[in-house]
Structure 1
């Protein structure tokens, strides 16, 4: 909870105000039992009726004042907890955004959603209600106990008999309920992940007629969630009645012993009634022990989960003195680069040079390391050995934001937001005008089909581009990259869903741009790579062939085999090679 308290400290004024209101309210409340005792002993018993108006006025003033103070306290506590919740969610989200690709390779979306949503809400409840209530009850307990000792120390000792038992119960409850909430928090993340994956992949589930299987899987997880919550309820059910019994037993013991004191003449009835009023100021904190323990344990379990995320140090970050170039030209060099996931090398001793404005095509079999290679340019991952240089500077020394602002990436997994087409394209350039958006879409061969849509560029597309074909989604994502006008353009299998004619026109548009970016094209089709300045062929993480289209055909190696496979229906392949 240390990180949570750090947020609370930022709003000290909203801690001071409710606590001041709370203390004044408690101080006023301490007069109520005293005034009731005076009413019994002096007004009713001794018939000093002239005091009745004063006593009632005093009780009325106390009640009204406590109402105003209670409103101030609750409002400021709620404001404080809401601000903490907002900033905590913001910082978790910002921190998640700073984490590298490798973190998301092993982390589920549902778990992260649980941390930002449910776990932050648990902390919010603790800050808004739990902490304030715990401190209030502590003050009540200590103050009432001091007053009780001053009134009748013997009777006060009687009320203490049950306290050790309550303390033992509270400690045992906190230990068991805390473990129960940790288990629930972990399982809720799994449940959310399953739900998120099935909702996102509902079309795939339906296509394979797996609805029943997925429903049964979710029901099984939901049953486990039910069992964990019942386990928590069982813990609560065992301890709460015992806490209630002991706290009520305290009242019975005090009234019984107090009755003997009254009968013996050492205590008046009014004093016993006042004493009983103060006793309830002890009993309520004792009764609240279970509820507060439950709330704090839940928040503590959630805070640990949040802190686990916040404690992760981003592996990829700026160096101590990063280089901030005015303009990145786009010269890219790989020097003896090797890269691995875990212990397995996926790239081995890669040497590659791309001058500004050149086009480098990357081909290879599935899993040969093509995407891993281009991911090193923008430091989405860092090399294990060797260096990647941009304009002669190691990418690890370049200011990260500057580096990535100079790169436009179209990944093989096209992602479009549930926004209009124009807003999705504008993601590449925040202040882009509508004319710039249309021009980028023309270059990406997307303008024609967008214009045919009912709402044109204002068409709101579904989640991840639902409602568009694969080729349409690819063209919008390419337009998003082109509008950025970056020095380095990376197309990771970005034309795989396009027909040959559209692909040809798109590549032609890229070559005819006024300012040609250094372009890296990953593709499986010869038509997409044949005009590149250099083509490299990867196999098992190593460059096995490199050269221009004609040079590789003359080599009659792996590239030639792919060429023959794709153009096997054409006649006279041999003559074209010659």
Structure 2
């Protein structure tokens, strides 16, 4: 069971500045959207002034012609504002969606650079929460909240200017309590940010627990641990609900207390403005316009306070996303990588040592693997055989020593070239929930049906496909679990054979096969790749007997010492 990562610290607001690399390509179009938003705000701000004219110049003076003109002006401003706002919203959502797609792709590409060790230590449920929920939260903010912030700020500034122009004393009366409303909101917003982080982590805990339980369902059933797992889920869910209820209380207070203060401010405006009308120092139209601006002033204030909560929640999500971006890959491609030509001579390990943060797995290993031959690697569990395979495809780099192909250090070679020339079939291969043919041709859309069939036959799949009604069109199920372990391994071998690598590394390729099928697969490999370098990691001496060379890895209590022997 993986260890949960430490809870991320609350990120500063400057975290949003890290969105700039994805924002920069769209900056010119966003400036046009901002300009259009400014026009829309101006049309909206004009409406209370038009109302003032209607009351003071048309209704009180009983001027019918003026009433019709002002009404037409009101309709024009309303329709124009609606049209421009619709255009702004549409264009902004389109731009933000494109920007967030770029960010998702960048995150996916970054995750592809991380080593298997990262995925072995990071909780799968938490990782999926960051990729799904957190990125979705950021998308909602970028696609909606940020535009609302801009429009509300513009409207707030415009409303303040109009209120000062109408009556600066009344403006002071109407805004004297606003700082108290803002202060109360900010107090509860800080609590909301902390609780939002706690909810996110609690949700990730539940997700990880469910992933563990579902993936390990066979073990749960075997051990009769159903009640134990249900109790673990109840405890995790209880913590989530407790945090959610605290967040609900704080959320209510975040809106209720500032809202009460805002209502008191509105009452003060009506009393003071009404007194001015009675005294004859203000017209009814001016008070109506002022109250309209005041209501619209407090609206953006409340909206901005509410949006701040959304921005705070997204800030937590953004921090969790950037924590993934900040995870440095263990294997880094050279700044000017070399192309890797066809492998013709040998693979050489010189003084190679490797550990995984614990005791050494390989120590001062010196071996030579000749090209175009079959080499078997034998040794007990824990001797470093699979680690050696990972080093050959640069899932990891050795902590000491070097690995070369035809004299070229792997660290100087393009990763794409290396993994096209040198291909690893894991001892627990992964199959996608697709057909057998689609799994064999994964990431090879140019593969023809005949090529797929040939690869399947070379991997010993003829017997399997012959007894399946749909043959190669049969779906493998989630992670290929509708098939046996041996069948999954043969499909993975066929997937490798289709790519015709120069070097094919097979980690326990026949562990789940009977002896007859093992021989079929072994002979099929050599027929399919007659000039390739085959490296077979195996516990089976019978398979090793087919090899041209045998490399034996043994380990003592604290160290690992390789022994190399040659057959044939």
TM-score (norm 1): 0.91
Indicate the residue corresponding to 1:151 in structure 2. 166
Indicate the residue corresponding to 1:535 in structure 2. 551
- Whether contact under 8 Å (1:178, 1:297) holds in the other structure is yes
Q: CA deviation at 1:330?
A: 5.8
- Selected match of 2:106 from 64, 77, 91: 91
- Selected match of 1:368 from 367, 373, 383: 383
Q: CA deviation at 1:82?
A: 1.8
Residue pairs, 1:165-314, within 5 angstroms: 165-314=180-329
RMSD of the TM alignment (CA)? Answer: 2.0
Q: CA deviation at 1:512?
A: 4.4
Partner Cα separation in structure 1 for residue 400 and residue 375 of structure 2: 22
Tell me the matched-pair count: 550
Partner Cα separation in structure 1 for residue 492 and residue 88 of structure 2: 52
Q: Indicate the SS of the match to 2:26.
A: coil
Q: CA deviation at 1:68?
A: 1.0
Q: Indicate the SS of the match to 1:61.
A: helix
* Deviates further, 166-175 or 440-449: 166-175
Q: For structure 2, which runs of at least 5 residues remain unmatched after alignment?
A: 1-15
Residue pairs, 1:171-570, within 5 angstroms: 171-329=186-344, 331-427=346-442, 429-513=444-528, 515-532=530-547, 533-540=549-556, 542-543=560-561, 545-548=563-566
Please state if 1:114 is matched with 2:129.
yes
* Deviates further, 364-373 or 298-307: 364-373
Indicate the residue corresponding to 1:39 in structure 2. 54
CA deviations over 1:93-145 (Å, ceiling 9, x no partner): 11111212222221122222112211111111111221111121111111111
- Whether contact under 8 Å (2:345, 2:406) holds in the other structure is yes
Partner Cα separation in structure 2 for residue 229 and residue 546 of structure 1: 61
- Whether contact under 8 Å (1:420, 1:458) holds in the other structure is yes
Question: Structure 2 vs 1, CA of residues 543 and 94 (structure 1 numbering), >3 Å: closer, same or farther?
Answer: same
TM-score (norm 2): 0.92
Partner Cα separation in structure 2 for residue 111 and residue 486 of structure 1: 35
Partner Cα separation in structure 2 for residue 68 and residue 124 of structure 1: 24
- Whether contact under 8 Å (1:81, 1:125) holds in the other structure is no
Please state if 1:65 is matched with 2:84.
no
- Whether contact under 8 Å (1:330, 1:518) holds in the other structure is no
CA deviations over 1:133-162 (Å, ceiling 9, x no partner): 112111111111111111111111112211
Partner Cα separation in structure 1 for residue 115 and residue 311 of structure 2: 33
* Deviates further, 41-50 or 527-536: 41-50
CA deviations over 1:272-304 (Å, ceiling 9, x no partner): 111111111211012213311111001111111
* Deviates further, 292-301 or 95-104: 95-104
Question: Structure 2 vs 1, CA of residues 55 and 328 (structure 1 numbering), >3 Å: closer, same or farther?
Answer: same
Question: Structure 2 vs 1, CA of residues 280 and 5 (structure 1 numbering), >3 Å: closer, same or farther?
Answer: farther
Partner Cα separation in structure 2 for residue 513 and residue 39 of structure 1: 88
Question: Structure 2 vs 1, CA of residues 285 and 199 (structure 1 numbering), >3 Å: closer, same or farther?
Answer: same
Partner Cα separation in structure 1 for residue 367 and residue 265 of structure 2: 82
CA deviations over 1:534-573 (Å, ceiling 9, x no partner): 23132245235432469xxxxxxxxxxxxxxxxxxxxxxx
Partner Cα separation in structure 1 for residue 529 and residue 510 of structure 2: 22
- Whether contact under 8 Å (2:59, 2:67) holds in the other structure is no
Please state if 1:103 is matched with 2:118.
yes
Partner Cα separation in structure 2 for residue 509 and residue 368 of structure 1: 28
Partner Cα separation in structure 2 for residue 320 and residue 12 of structure 1: 29
Larger radius of gyration: 1
Partner Cα separation in structure 1 for residue 221 and residue 352 of structure 2: 44
Q: Indicate the SS of the match to 1:337.
A: strand
Q: CA deviation at 1:14?
A: 4.0
Q: CA deviation at 1:255?
A: 0.7
Q: For structure 1, which runs of at least 5 residues remain unmatched after alignment?
A: 551-578
Q: Indicate the SS of the match to 2:353.
A: strand
Q: Indicate the SS of the match to 1:432.
A: coil
- Whether contact under 8 Å (2:376, 2:538) holds in the other structure is yes
Q: CA deviation at 1:513?
A: 4.7
- Selected match of 2:144 from 122, 126, 129: 129
Question: Structure 2 vs 1, CA of residues 424 and 36 (structure 1 numbering), >3 Å: closer, same or farther?
Answer: same
Q: CA deviation at 1:205?
A: 2.9
* Deviates further, 14-23 or 337-346: 14-23
- Whether contact under 8 Å (2:376, 2:544) holds in the other structure is yes
